[in-house]
């Protein structure tokens, strides 16, 4: 039973992390109509920045804050230099151009930090476990990821639904030309939205960094998951992205945990051990295919349009 609770918390943690990535993606997608494959690169860069800054300053939190700011700046620079020229183009152009950016960033990271991975050690006050329920301990760090992500999700909700900037973002998602005609500085708005998305990706990357190694290409696998989430949730819908992310986080984590046992009923131990992670990963894509066939607009389409 405690194992099940732990797996559920793991699923929640992974789902919330995916939400941070998917939120930026869905914002950029919904507002600028831009397919940004390089979003995973920003995730990777966030992790590398965090590892570097934490080593420099000697403080995990300070490193994380600096990394967040740096990723925001990188994101805004990417928008001004490259993305801005891609708005209004074909989706194929987006795919190709941002694919080029992935190659560029991967190689840039290799050039600066070398091909070997990095690690971001946790400070001792996070590297413990907390008694969540009587007789059940859970990693303090994973718990703090859940708390931070929930806080960010609430902040995003507040930002998008309750502030003037959020109003402009929502307006931009429903009709770009119109808010431009109404005198809003769309260029600046787009740069800010892209920067926000980048910072969210960077946050996801730096929070994941202590759990996994920081390495080149770490963004590529998770990027596709984030895309799946935006599509399942409905493109441009933050609420949809949130729910879909939790769903995918649970399927992935619980699938990995319990498929092995399920498969062992029918197959040998080795077969089950190899097939289980693959099958649970596959399940997510199957879910997306089913959603797309039955409800092409996603489960929770953005109310606009």
Partner 1 sequence: MIRALNLRTVVGIALLVALVLLPVYVEATGSRFLLTLFTRIVILAIAAVSLNFILGYGGMMSFGHAAYLGIGGYAVGILAFEGVTSGFVQWPVALLVSALFALVTGALSLRTRGVYFIMITLAFAQMTYYIVAGLARYGGDDGLTIQKRSQFIAPINLSNKVQFYYICLALLCASIYLIWRIVNSRFGLALQGARSNDTRMRAIGFPTYRYKLTGFVIAGTLCGLAGALIANHTDFVSPAMMYWTRSGDLIIMVVLGGMGSTFGPLFGAVALLVLEEALSGITEYWQIILGPLLLLVVLFARGGIDGLLGKVRQKVKHG
Give the span between the Cα atoms of 177 and 168, in whole angstroms.
Answer: 12
CB closer to partner 1, 161 vs 278: 278
Q: How far is the CB of 255 from partner 1 (least distance, A)?
A: 11
List the end-to-end C-alpha distance of the chain, in Å, as a whole number.
45
d(CA 16, CA 4): 18
What's the min distance (Å) between Cβ of 111 and partner 1? Answer: 5
Identity of the residue, 21 or 66, whose beta carbon is nearer to partner 1 in the bound complex: 21
CA dist 1 to 6, 52, 128, 248, Å?
A: 9, 39, 22, 22
Least CB distance to partner 1 at residue 104 (A): 3
Min separation Cβ 128 and partner 1, Å: 34
Binding site for partner 1 (CB under 8 A): 29, 35, 37, 82, 85-86, 89, 91-93, 95-97, 99-108, 110-111, 220, 224, 227-228, 231, 235, 270-271, 273-279, 281-282, 285-286, 288-289, 292-293, 296
- Between 4 and 285, name the residue whose CB sits nearer to partner 1: 285
What SS3 class is residue 123?
A: coil
The CB density around residue 96, as the number of other CB atoms within 10 Å, is 15
Q: What is the full DSSP assignment across 181-213?
A: HTT--HHHHHHHHHHHHHHHHHHHHHHHTTTS-
Residue placing its CB nearer to partner 1 in the complex, 210 or 219: 219
Which residue, 167 or 282, has its beta carbon nearer to partner 1? 282
* C-beta closer to partner 1: residue 250 or 267: 267
Write down the least CB distance from residue 103 to partner 1, Å: 4
Q: Toward partner 1, which CB reaches closer, 37 or 54?
A: 37
β-partners of residue 133 are 136
Minimum Å gap between C-beta 220 and partner 1 is: 7
Contacts of 123 (CB under 8 A, 6+ apart): 59, 60, 61
- Shortest gap between Cβ of 271 and partner 1 (angstroms)? 5
CA separation (Å) from 96 to 20, 34, 43, 217? 24, 12, 19, 17
Which residues are CB-contacts of 131 (< 8 A; sequence separation ≥ 6)? 137
């Amino acid at each position: 039973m405690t194992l099940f609770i732990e797996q559920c918390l793991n699923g929640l943690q992974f789902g919330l992390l995916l939400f941070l990535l998917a939120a930026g993606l869905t914002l950029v997608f919904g507002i600028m109509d831009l397919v940004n494959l390089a979003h995973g690169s920003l995730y990777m860069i966030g992790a590398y920045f965090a590892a570097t800054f934490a080593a420099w300053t000697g403080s995990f939190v300070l490193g994380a804050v600096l990394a967040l700011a740096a990723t925001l700046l990188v994101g805004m620079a990417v928008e001004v230099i490259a993305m801005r020229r891609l708005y209004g183009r074909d989706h194929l152009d987006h795919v190709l151009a941002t694919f080029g950016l992935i190659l560029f960033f991967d190689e840039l990271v290799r050039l600066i930090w070398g091909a070997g991975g990095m690690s971001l050690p946790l400070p001792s006050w996070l590297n413990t476990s907390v008694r969540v329920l009587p007789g059940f301990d859970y990693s303090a760090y994973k718990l703090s990821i859940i708390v931070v992500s929930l806080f960010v999700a609430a902040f995003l909700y507040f930002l998008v639904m309750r502030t003037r900037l959020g109003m402009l973002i929502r307006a931009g998602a429903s009709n770009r030309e119109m808010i431009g005609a109404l005198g809003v500085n769309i260029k600046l708005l787009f740069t800010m939205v892209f920067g926000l998305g980048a910072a969210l990706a960077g946050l996801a990357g730096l929070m994941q960094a202590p759990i996994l190694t920081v390495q080149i290409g770490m963004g590529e696998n998770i990027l596709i998951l984030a895309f799946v989430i935006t599509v399942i949730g409905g493109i441009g819908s933050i609420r949809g992205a949130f729910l879909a992310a939790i769903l995918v986080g649970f399927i992935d984590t619980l699938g990995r945990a319990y498929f092995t046992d399920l498969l062992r009923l029918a197959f040998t131990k080795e077969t089950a051990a190899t097939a289980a992670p693959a099958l649970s990963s596959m399940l997510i894509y199957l879910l997306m295919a089913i959603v797309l066939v039955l409800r092409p607009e996603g489960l929770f389409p953005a109310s606009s349009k």
